[in-house]
Protein backbone atom coordinates (compact mmCIF):
# COMPACT_ATOMS: atom_id res chain seq x y z
CA UNK A 1 0.00 0.00 0.00
CA UNK A 2 2.82 2.39 0.70
CA UNK A 3 2.01 3.17 4.31
CA UNK A 4 4.86 4.62 6.39
CA UNK A 5 6.37 1.91 8.58
CA UNK A 6 7.79 2.53 12.05
CA UNK A 7 11.55 2.10 11.86
CA UNK A 8 11.65 2.65 8.09
CA UNK A 9 9.63 5.74 7.15
CA UNK A 10 8.88 6.94 10.70
CA UNK A 11 11.94 7.26 12.93
CA UNK A 12 13.44 9.82 15.28
CA UNK A 13 15.13 11.26 12.15
CA UNK A 14 12.06 11.22 9.88
CA UNK A 15 9.12 13.37 10.92
CA UNK A 16 5.44 12.70 10.15
CA UNK A 17 5.51 15.79 7.90
CA UNK A 18 8.34 14.30 5.81
CA UNK A 19 6.63 10.90 5.77
CA UNK A 20 3.28 12.32 4.57
CA UNK A 21 1.71 11.16 7.83
CA UNK A 22 0.70 14.59 9.09
CA UNK A 23 -2.90 13.35 9.16
CA UNK A 24 -1.91 11.32 12.25
CA UNK A 25 -0.67 14.36 14.20
CA UNK A 26 -3.03 16.07 16.65
CA UNK A 27 -2.41 19.55 15.20
CA UNK A 28 -5.23 21.08 17.26
CA UNK A 29 -3.69 19.99 20.56
CA UNK A 30 -2.20 23.03 22.31
CA UNK A 31 0.83 21.09 23.52
CA UNK A 32 2.75 17.91 22.71
CA UNK A 33 6.44 17.04 22.56
CA UNK A 34 7.94 18.43 19.37
CA UNK A 35 4.89 20.50 18.42
CA UNK A 36 6.83 23.70 17.69
CA UNK A 37 9.31 21.90 15.44
CA UNK A 38 6.56 20.07 13.52
CA UNK A 39 4.48 23.22 13.06
CA UNK A 40 7.55 25.10 11.80
CA UNK A 41 8.42 22.29 9.37
CA UNK A 42 4.83 22.09 8.12
CA UNK A 43 4.70 25.85 7.50
CA UNK A 44 8.13 26.06 5.82
CA UNK A 45 7.77 22.81 3.91
CA UNK A 46 9.92 19.76 4.65
CA UNK A 47 13.49 19.56 3.33
CA UNK A 48 12.71 16.06 2.11
CA UNK A 49 9.50 14.21 1.30
CA UNK A 50 8.40 10.59 1.10
CA UNK A 51 7.55 9.39 -2.40
CA UNK A 52 6.70 6.03 -3.92
CA UNK A 53 8.90 4.56 -6.65
CA UNK A 54 7.68 2.03 -9.20
CA UNK A 55 10.38 0.32 -11.26
CA UNK A 56 9.77 0.57 -15.00
CA UNK A 57 11.99 -2.44 -15.70
CA UNK A 58 13.32 -5.49 -13.93
CA UNK A 59 14.85 -5.17 -10.50
CA UNK A 60 13.98 -5.44 -6.85
CA UNK A 61 14.29 -2.31 -4.75
CA UNK A 62 15.37 -2.48 -1.12
CA UNK A 63 16.01 -0.06 1.76
CA UNK A 64 19.06 2.21 1.90
CA UNK A 65 19.67 2.56 -1.84
CA UNK A 66 20.61 5.86 -3.51
CA UNK A 67 17.94 7.61 -5.58
CA UNK A 68 19.45 9.52 -8.49
CA UNK A 69 18.10 12.32 -10.68
CA UNK A 70 18.09 12.09 -14.49
CA UNK A 71 21.61 13.55 -14.54
CA UNK A 72 22.88 10.99 -12.00
CA UNK A 73 23.04 13.30 -8.97
CA UNK A 74 22.00 11.75 -5.64
CA UNK A 75 18.66 13.20 -4.50
CA UNK A 76 17.46 10.73 -1.88
CA UNK A 77 17.46 7.30 -0.30
CA UNK A 78 15.01 4.42 -0.33
CA UNK A 79 13.55 3.63 3.07
CA UNK A 80 11.91 0.31 2.18
CA UNK A 81 11.28 -1.73 -0.93
CA UNK A 82 10.23 -5.08 -2.31
CA UNK A 83 8.82 -6.86 -5.35
CA UNK A 84 5.07 -6.32 -5.75
CA UNK A 85 3.37 -9.56 -6.80
CA UNK A 86 0.25 -7.55 -7.68
CA UNK A 87 2.02 -5.03 -9.91
CA UNK A 88 4.73 -7.48 -11.03
CA UNK A 89 7.46 -4.83 -10.55
CA UNK A 90 9.78 -3.57 -7.86
CA UNK A 91 8.39 -0.83 -5.62
CA UNK A 92 9.89 1.31 -2.88
CA UNK A 93 9.32 4.27 -0.63
CA UNK A 94 12.05 6.90 -0.69
CA UNK A 95 12.88 10.15 1.03
CA UNK A 96 13.73 12.62 -1.73
CA UNK A 97 15.15 16.11 -1.26
CA UNK A 98 12.45 18.72 -1.86
CA UNK A 99 15.01 20.90 -3.66
CA UNK A 100 15.22 18.23 -6.40
CA UNK A 101 11.80 19.35 -7.66
CA UNK A 102 10.49 15.80 -7.99
CA UNK A 103 6.79 15.38 -8.60
CA UNK A 104 4.43 12.59 -9.58
CA UNK A 105 5.53 11.12 -12.92
CA UNK A 106 9.17 12.20 -12.64
CA UNK A 107 11.62 9.52 -13.78
CA UNK A 108 14.51 8.79 -11.43
CA UNK A 109 16.86 5.85 -11.04
CA UNK A 110 17.86 3.76 -8.07
CA UNK A 111 21.40 2.44 -7.70
CA UNK A 112 21.11 -1.29 -6.97
CA UNK A 113 24.64 -2.61 -6.49
CA UNK A 114 26.03 -0.41 -9.27
CA UNK A 115 23.12 -0.97 -11.65
CA UNK A 116 20.71 1.89 -12.29
CA UNK A 117 17.06 0.82 -12.20
CA UNK A 118 14.74 3.38 -13.76
CA UNK A 119 11.66 4.24 -11.67
CA UNK A 120 8.60 6.41 -11.95
CA UNK A 121 7.80 8.61 -8.97
CA UNK A 122 4.28 7.92 -7.67
CA UNK A 123 2.10 8.93 -4.75
CA UNK A 124 1.12 5.88 -2.70
CA UNK A 125 -0.97 3.83 -2.52
CA UNK A 126 0.66 1.74 -5.24
CA UNK A 127 -2.56 -0.18 -5.91
CA UNK A 128 -5.82 1.70 -6.31
CA UNK A 129 -8.66 0.72 -3.99
CA UNK A 130 -11.34 -1.46 -5.51
CA UNK A 131 -14.56 0.53 -4.99
CA UNK A 132 -16.82 -1.86 -6.89
pLDDT in tens, 73-123: 999 999 999 999 999 999 999 999 999 999 999 999 999 999 999 999 999
Q: Is 68 in contact with 107 (CB distance < 8 Å)? A: no
- Furthest C-alpha separation in the chain: 49
Q: Is 61 in contact with 78 (CB distance < 8 Å)? A: yes
Query: If pLDDT is split at 50, 70 and 90, which confidence band does 131 have?
Result: low
Residues 6+ apart with CB under 8 A from 73: none
pTM of the model: 0.91
- The whole-angstrom separation of Cα 37 and Cα 105 is 31
Total count of residues recorded for the chain: 132
Q: Is 107 in contact with 119 (CB distance < 8 Å)? A: yes
Amino acid sequence: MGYPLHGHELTVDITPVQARAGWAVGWKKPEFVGREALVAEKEAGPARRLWGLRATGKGVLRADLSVLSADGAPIGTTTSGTFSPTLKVGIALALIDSAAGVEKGTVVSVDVRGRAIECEVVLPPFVEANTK
